[in-house]
Amino acid sequence: MSQITKCRICESPHIQKFLSLGATPPANSFPEPGHDAECEVSFPLELFLCEKCGLVQLGYTVPPEILFKNYLYFSSTVETLKRHFADFAAEIAEKYAGDNGLVVEIGSNDGVLLKNFQGKQVRALGFEPAANVAKAAREAGVDTINDFFNSSTAAKLKEERGTANVIIANNVFAHVAGLHDLVRGMEILLAQQGVMIIEFHHLASLYSHMEFDSIYHEHLCYYSLKPVMHLFGMFGMEVFDVKKIPIHGGSLRIYVQKKGGGHAISQNVQAILNEEETLGLYKLETYRDFAGKIASIRDELLAMLKKLKSEGKRVAGYGAPAKCTTLLNYFGIGPGLVEYIVDRSPSKQNRLVPGVHVPICGPERLKSDRPDYLLILAWNISEEIMKQQSEFRASGGKFIVPIPRPEIL
């Protein structure tokens, strides 16, 4: 674990702390019942703003070997993501991959996106450091290198298979401590006229919708477009287009090329920069205000849950995404207030939420045991969840959505 002294992108020492969410265990570490609680390690969760380039980032870096060697997040368990990445792959195949071109995905997880190239004239290859997840991808027939992507693994791949027409990196830019080396690797591997397509949770959404529970140790950086453009500029590359994507509560998809590549710069780029400026995303006051609002959400949700409990109502949770670790730990919500959580992912079932130790089980439990309320912790797919749980609602059950403000639906 190490504490930063300068910005992770522009290396300015002018970084200011604006939020401390206490010390929490790694958000995806979900221990098994009966584990040795003394061995559960917590790390400080503190956020800083770089006053020079506008990057919001964590102060402490937990070593990636702790976070990513065995990983419990399988993207393919989320239907919304499966559909999203199928459409994404279709766009790549049609516009950018070329005939039998090499398409490389960084952080390819269980192959949720790359599976869609099967049967197409595309050489698809993933980089996935988590051995268990890479194994699932290979079993699904997706060519996967079980390693971290960086400048040396990129150079090795280029030697073996040539340059890539397309490099994809979805929801992984936030996870990488060595950002310069990551982007250097992308620059090495990308063909001169190649395109990189990258999705990340947009700081504008995180800020505007109070998605503070997306803050956890895996996510070292919280990106607005401006610092990302700075990062690619440092390595001779440029963002030529950007789109808003309704995934993970509001993401950006950016299109990047080597400077002087074939694509004209879209007006969308300046439009997003203007929006970020108007929201105040590069100013410290904005984040001090954000920190105050998180404290209000905590007070409201705790008051709501305690009141329900005093009325004899039972509350369970729906969804155990990594972000539930931040919310439940920072708010101090344990099994006394939320009895258990159901999650469709078998890798999370029969485990506990790190730190607060709320038990996790499969959704079938809701058929035999009917709580009065379901706190939706995977709020980014709340519509999918409410549709799946229409029976629960029809029999009088109610949903609580915690953010942007706690609300009973």
Where along the sequence are the contacts to ligand SAM (CB under 6 A)? 64, 68, 71, 73, 75, 81, 106-107, 109, 112, 127-130, 133, 148-149, 170-172, 175-176
Q: Would you say 214 or 389 has its CB closer to ligand SAM?
A: 214
Q: Would you say 138 or 365 has its CB closer to ligand SAM?
A: 138
345 and 316 Cβ atoms separated by less than 8 Å: no
Dihedral of the alpha carbons of 199, 319, 304, 208, in degrees to the nearest 10 = 0
Q: Would you say 129 or 359 has its CB closer to ligand SAM?
A: 129
378 and 370 Cβ atoms separated by less than 8 Å: no
Q: Would you say 148 or 240 has its CB closer to ligand SAM?
A: 148
Residue 407 C-beta: closest distance to ligand SAM, Å = 27
Q: Would you say 127 or 340 has its CB closer to ligand SAM?
A: 127
Q: Would you say 128 or 211 has its CB closer to ligand SAM?
A: 128
Position closest to ligand SAM via CB: 107
Among 407, 365, 405, smallest CA distance to 389 is for: 365
- Joined tokens for residue 385: 């969840």
Residue 130 C-beta: closest distance to ligand SAM, Å = 4
3-class DSSP assignment, residue 4: coil
Residue 387 C-beta: closest distance to ligand SAM, Å = 21
Contacts (Cβ under 8 Å, ≥6 apart) of 362: 342, 343, 344, 346, 349
Residue 127 C-beta: closest distance to ligand SAM, Å = 4
As beta bridge partners, residue 194 has none
Residue 210 C-beta: closest distance to ligand SAM, Å = 21
Residue 113 C-beta: closest distance to ligand SAM, Å = 7
CA distance to 130, 281, 320, per residue, from 66 (Å): 10, 31, 20
